[in-house]
Amino acid sequence: MLDTAPLTRAYIYLDRLTHNLRLLQELAGGRPLWPAIKANAYGHGMVFVARHLVALGYDTLCVAHVSEVEVLAEAGVDARFLLFSATLPEHSEAVVRLGCEPAVCTLEFAQALSRDAQRLGRTVAVHLMVDTGMGRIGIRPEDAPAFLERCAALPGMWVRGLMTHFPRADEADKTQSVQQIQDFRHCIEATARFGIEVRHMANSAAIFDLPDSHCDAVRPGISIYGLLPSPEIINPRVGELKPVLEWKTPISFLKEVPAGTGLSYGHTFHTARPSLIATVPVGYGDGLSRRLSNSFEMLVRGIRCPQVGRVTMDQSLIDVTALRGRVALGDEVVIIGRQGDAEVTADELAAKLGTISYEIVTAISERVPRVAIGGQA
């Protein structure tokens, strides 16, 4: 076998994943935890994260689209799969065949599911998505009883769950979220006669800060990966989370350049002194945003070294002058993670880009191999 594996890799520490899940489980009491592994497990590698979760005993996993369930099923992951996004009727056959439990918020989709379930001799369980304030998908809470009446008349499908989602649970001010919990409670009461089995609303932020929202199950995403939903989480236990992902690359080229040398496309950086410049094989094709150019640092030998010049598609440059005589081709460079006493977090990069850690890790592209460290998976 030829070894062609890219050397820019995301290392996934499965024991930290386990640690984070234990913490969340403690906060959620005995309630089932339904981890969200959508979008390639927030960039961490969906299949092996799923395998690890199943090995730990988690039997319900959440994704966005039916396409993700197909990948998991083909990989032999045996679990119950919830679909968070709105699905269009054209995917109802796939939903039924793959046995997923979709969020439902249109009658069109409910009818398509019923039709396909009957045709295939199956029964499909669904979760009615109620919009208590997210403003993304879902029916209005006051419409839930009538919608459930219509669903009750559809053979081959039944509404197993009632769900809603928080837009602002990660903010210090919980006014909106507390209102949503109350509205969801009323909706639960108003729909009590329909035999719904599970009610759920809590994302990571709500698991930490809104115990009244835990209902019958919780749906953590970002926190299982050891990242904070936001800096405004009140519960101090959020500090116990451990980041699961580290993103590393080796030095692929080193050169001495004189003062005044222009570097990379557009010469947006000129050396102010004779400099030792390292090249690393990571760029925006790997999910490292070009907008970070000249404004962040990578770790080499435990020291923060400034990235210089434009980040290009496949390669970037760092100024390692401070390490002259102590740095060599192949040396480890950390983009996200720890090295010695130094650390670069996904939150730090997110802040520079005006985004959130969710987007930083999810953007790490397919070209970057995910390497699982530890764990049973």
Ligand X SMILES: *Cc1c(COP(=O)(O)O)cnc(C)c1O
What is the residue type of 61?
L
Number of residues interacting with ligand X: please give it, by CB under 6 A: 11
Cβ 151 to ligand X, closest distance in Å?
20
DSSP codes, 199-247: EEEE-HHHHHH-GGG-TTEE---GGGGT--S-TT---GGGGG----EEE
- Is the CB of 229 or the CB of 283 nearer to ligand X? 229
Cβ 79 to ligand X, closest distance in Å?
16
Does residue 265 carry a catalytic annotation? yes
Q: How far apart are CA 313 and CA 307, in angstroms?
A: 15
Q: Tell which residue, 166, 191, 189, 192, has the closest CA to residue 179.
A: 166
Catalytic residue among 11, 13, 265, 358: 265
Which window, 220-228, 250-258, 303-311, 320-328, contacts ligand X (CB under 6 A)? 220-228
- Is the CB of 40 or the CB of 203 nearer to ligand X? 203
- Is the CB of 165 or the CB of 214 nearer to ligand X? 165
Q: Tell which residue, 84, 92, 314, has the closest CA to residue 203.
A: 84
CB atoms within 10 A of CB 329: 11
Which member of 20, 180, 191, 203 binds ligand X (CB under 6 A)? Answer: 203
Which window, 14-22, 217-225, 318-326, 344-352, contacts ligand X (CB under 6 A)? 217-225
Cβ 246 to ligand X, closest distance in Å?
20
Verify binding: residue 84, ligand X, rule CB under 6 A: yes
Does residue 242 carry a catalytic annotation? no
Q: How far apart are CA 204 and CA 262, in angstroms?
A: 45
Verify binding: residue 229, ligand X, rule CB under 6 A: yes
What is the residue type of 222?
I
CB burial of 263-291 (b: ≥16 within 10 Å; e: otherwise) equals bbeeeebebeeebbbbbbbbbbbbbbbee
Tell me if 73 sits within 8 A of 50, measured CB to CB: no
Residue matched to tokens 């410049």: 277
For the four alpha carbons of 289, 293, 296 and 298, in that order, the dihedral sign comes to positive
Verify binding: residue 208, ligand X, rule CB under 6 A: no
Window 161-200: contact mask with ligand X (x via CB under 6 A): ----x-----------------------------------
Verify binding: residue 36, ligand X, rule CB under 6 A: yes
Cβ 333 to ligand X, closest distance in Å?
28
**What crossing angle do the helices spanning 66-74 and 46-55 adopt, rounded to 10°?**
70
| Torsion of the alpha carbons at 37, 41, 45 and 49, rounded to the nearest 10 | -40
Catalytic residue among 13, 38, 58, 248: 38
Verify binding: residue 219, ligand X, rule CB under 6 A: yes
Cβ 68 to ligand X, closest distance in Å?
12
Which window, 44-52, 114-122, 219-227, 316-324, contacts ligand X (CB under 6 A)? 219-227
For the four alpha carbons of 221, 225, 230 and 236, in that order, the dihedral sign comes to positive
Which window, 114-122, 177-185, 222-230, 286-294, contacts ligand X (CB under 6 A)? 222-230
Which window, 1-9, 21-29, 216-224, 342-350, contacts ligand X (CB under 6 A)? 216-224
Verify binding: residue 222, ligand X, rule CB under 6 A: yes
DSSP codes, 68-89: HHHHHHHTT--SEEEE-S---G
**Between residue 92 and residue 111, which ones bind ligand X under the rule CB under 6 A?**
none
Catalytic residue annotation: 38, 265
- For ligand X, the binding residues (CB under 6 A) are 36, 84, 165, 203-204, 219-223, 229
